[in-house]
Amino acid sequence: MQPSLKRELGLRDTTLFAISCIVGTRWIAAAAHAGPGSVTLWAVTALFFVVPLAFAVTSLATRYPESGGLYIWTRNDFGRWHGFLAFWLYWVGLAVWFPSAAIFYMTAALHAVGLPVSRPYVLGASLAAIVIALGTNLIGMKIGKWTENLGAVATWVVTFLFVVLAAIVWLKRGSATPLTVVPRFDWNTLNLWAAIAYGMSGMELVGGMVAEVRDPERTLPRAGWLASGLITLFYSTATIALVVLLQPAHISEMNGLAEAGDEAARVLALGWLGPLIAVLVVASGMGQLGGIGTSMSRLPFAAGADGLLPASFGRVHPRWHTPHVPILVLGALSIVLLFAVQLGDSLRAAYDVLVSLMVLSGFIPFFYIFGSSWKAGNKLSAVAGIAVVSITLVCSVVPTAEVTNVWLFEGKVLGGLLLMAGTAWAIYRRRGL
């Protein structure tokens, strides 16, 4: 039996928690770089992936009301090995997500305030972001939830700010980009389409917090639908705002927000805009880092309680009432990956490897989630979700135009995935058989 966790999350907190886990300002720049037709991709992904995922999470979380999310669902429906494999791939994939997200948010912030966007600055700022985001959640959800709440609010404030700025610039000089609804289809944008799908995942993390939600049978469905509608609105309006300010070719995936902010500041003569955007982007990033880090720590917590990981993973801190060991291990692994992935690559190429690897490993477990959803009776939505997951996995291994050494890129991505799966099997053979 799992140790009890405190139910600290009501409807407001759960909705904001979901928004913090799902919404990432980093994906706006990627979508805008692909052109205004990305808005259509946001809408299609919401219909065929976010809505089916909301169905799956709300039904499975109420069917299996234990902390642990997809690990518990997969274990109960497909067996212990499949539960452990799904958990391990997803957990390590999000551990890979951590340094890539920190690199993006800190790069955007450094660019916005005019500091050098060099590897030492970016790595130092990213390290600090990981430590602070996980540290606030280590000492308890009563404190940590405010990191997520403030992050969600900052995300919406920065989006609203860009929408207002884009509207004013449009009235002043017109749109920098012709607004079309047809996505651009070419080889170089395939990897970006995978990022768009990944950018709308995250509802499954909320399901992992079911043991800490008050009245989950009522709260989770309502929070899921509220968050699903809001994130679709968020991504669509923010993407339009960026392409109104700049042409897609001038919007980079790593610095797109800061570049659009620079353009708005130049046109409207707003010298204070850059630092304000930097503060909001950092707050948004800290909220997402904290929210995802907190939720994903519940996966090894459940596996530890099941005896598939050392018993310390399944214990709750006597004072903070959090699974402290999984949070500490996650922080350590993320920091190691932050520096290890830099070997043999530029900062941008290392970022691309991280994005592809996290999508590949993070999306494979969705086959289990939608498989469990099928068993729960959500057959049509499960088919739609599996189709999107399959397309996303294919697109995730296509290198972007910025990757110059394709073989090194593919070797790191596929080698990393094999290492994850092999490690899962070795651990399971040692503890699960």
3-state secondary structure the chain: CCCCCCCCECHHHHHHHHHHHHCCHHHHHHHHHHCCCHHHHHHHHHHHHHHHHHHHHHHHHHHCCCCCCHHHHHHHHHCHHHHHHHHHHHHHHHHHHHHHHHHHHHHHHHHHHCCCCCHHHHHHHHHHHHHHHHHHHHCCHHHHHHHHHHHHHHHHHHHHHHHHHHHHHHHHHCCCCCCCCCCCCCHHHHHHHHHHHHHCCCHHHHHCCHHHECCHHHHHHHHHHHHHHHHHHHHHHHHHHHHHHCCHHHCCCCCHHHHHHHHHHHHHCCCCHHHHHHHHHHHHHHHHHHHHHHHHCHHHHHHHHCCCCCHHHHCCCCCCCCCHHHHHHHHHHHHHHHHHCCCCCCHHHHHHHHHHHHHHHHHCCHHHHHHHHHHCCCHHHHHHHHHHHHHHHHHHCCCCCCCCCHHHHHHHHHHHHHHHHHHHHHHHHHHCC
Q: Pick from 293, 248, 23: which is nearest to 156 by CA?
A: 23
Q: Is pLDDT at 1 greater than 80 in this prediction? A: no
pLDDT at 2: 45
Considering only 112-126, 136-150, 260-274, 400-414, which range has the smallest mean pLDDT?
Answer: 136-150
Confidence of residue 343 (pLDDT cuts 50, 70, 90): low
The alpha carbon of residue 253 and the mean position of all alpha carbons in its chain are separated, in whole angstroms, by 15
Confidence of residue 204 (pLDDT cuts 50, 70, 90): confident
Residues 6+ apart with CB under 8 A from 411: none
All domains in the chain, ordered by first residue: 11-431 (1.20.1740.10)
What is the percent of the chain with per-residue pLDDT over 70, rounded to a whole number?
Answer: 84
Amino acid letter, 147: T
What does the pLDDT average to over 350-362?
74
For residue 345, count other CB atoms closer than 10 A to its CB: 18
pLDDT digits (tens, 9 = 90+) for 95-138: 777 777 788 778 777 776 777 777 788 888 888 878 877 776 67
Evaluate whether 83 touches 71 at the Cβ level (below 8 Å). Answer: yes
Q: Is pLDDT at 190 greater than 70 in this prediction? A: no
Evaluate whether 241 touches 163 at the Cβ level (below 8 Å). Answer: yes
How far apart (Å, rounded) are the C-alpha atoms in residues 301 and 329? 11
Evaluate whether 73 touches 298 at the Cβ level (below 8 Å). Answer: no
Q: What angle do CA 3, 79, 294 make, to 5 degrees?
A: 40
**Residues 360, 365, 367, 370, CA torsion sign:** negative
Considering only 11-25, 143-157, 242-256, which range has the smallest mean pLDDT?
Answer: 143-157
Q: Is pLDDT at 160 greater than 50 in this prediction? A: yes
Q: Is pLDDT at 240 greater than 90 in this prediction? A: yes
Evaluate whether 189 touches 269 at the Cβ level (below 8 Å). Answer: no
How far apart (Å, rounded) are the C-alpha atoms in residues 426 and 120? 36
pTM of the entire predicted model: 0.75
Q: Is pLDDT at 338 greater than 90 in this prediction? A: no
Considering only 60-69, 146-155, 225-234, 305-314, which range has the smallest mean pLDDT?
Answer: 146-155
